[in-house]
Amino acid sequence: MNIASSMPWPSLTPLILTLKLGLWTTLLLFICGVPLAYWLVHGRSFLRLPCRIMVNLPLVLPPIVLGFYLLLLFSPTGTIGCFLEDYFHIRFAFSFAGLVLGSMLFSLPFMLNPMMAGLESLPPSLLEAAYVLGRSRTATLLRVLLPAIRPSLLSALMMTFAHTIGEFGLVLMIGGKIEGITRVASIAVYDEVESFNYRAAHFYSAILLIVSFLLLYLMFLINRRSRTF
């Protein structure tokens, strides 16, 4: 009897969780990232350089290291984790909220760097003209700068989503692999390989591969089209 044929069909739950994680992470990072990118480019504080270093730290830091310190920080037995759970009923360790928080921190450079590159590419005269016309900083950002860097924004959104759905080490450390709560597709691939259920591992892996390829293909098309105008 073929062992693979006796294995159960893969559940769609890890894929649904992965989709939710990618969407929530991308949405929240976009909301937080727009003003942060603007400040990092146009701000005058001496904190800009340290903040830029912190933003790009996940690019060189092993994800499991970030997950480890997040687990220590928000563990129910720790001071901060215990305080949040006792007084606000918020738990980040081994929860979906913890996955979102960890993914936001680890995908931060993939959201901010394209935004900052787009803002830095704009001529200073565009910003000066908006101020001369009496627009506030908020209006200038929302109505002048963001429309001018639309390709960069789309690239940031797609890169963030693609990076989030493929994360493994951080989500395993901060969330574990609780079925229906934190067991996303990347964790499911690892579990199925350990169980020699290669059919399910192929199923999850192929979907992640196809989605990531399509997102990157679309991103390159958008970038190439923006360069022709």
Q: What is the pLDDT along the chain (229 residues), one digit of tens a residue?
A: 444 555 667 889 999 999 999 999 999 999 999 999 999 998 888 999 999 999 999 999 999 999 999 999 998 888 888 888 888 888 899 999 999 999 999 999 999 999 999 999 999 888 888 888 888 888 888 889 999 999 999 999 999 999 999 999 999 999 999 999 999 999 999 999 999 999 999 999 999 999 999 999 998 888 787 765 5
What the block records as the tokens of 93 is 């360790």
Note the pLDDT of residue 1: 41
Q: Closest Cα partner for 208 from 228, 188, 179?
A: 188
User: DSSP string of 147-177?
Assistant: HHTHHHHHHHHHHHHHHHHT--HHHHHHHTT
Answer for the pair 187, 172: CB distance below 8 angstroms, yes or no. yes
Answer for the pair 204, 14: CB distance below 8 angstroms, yes or no. yes
Q: How far is residue 27's CA from residue 21's CA, in Å, rounded to a whole number?
A: 10
Amino acid at 195: S
Q: How far is residue 64's CA from residue 97's CA, in Å, rounded to a whole number?
A: 17
Nearest-10 Cα torsion for 140, 144, 148, 154: 70
Q: How far is residue 208's CA from residue 15's CA, in Å, rounded to a whole number?
A: 9
Q: What domains are there in the chain, each with its CATH number?
A: 12-44+60-227 (1.10.3720.10)
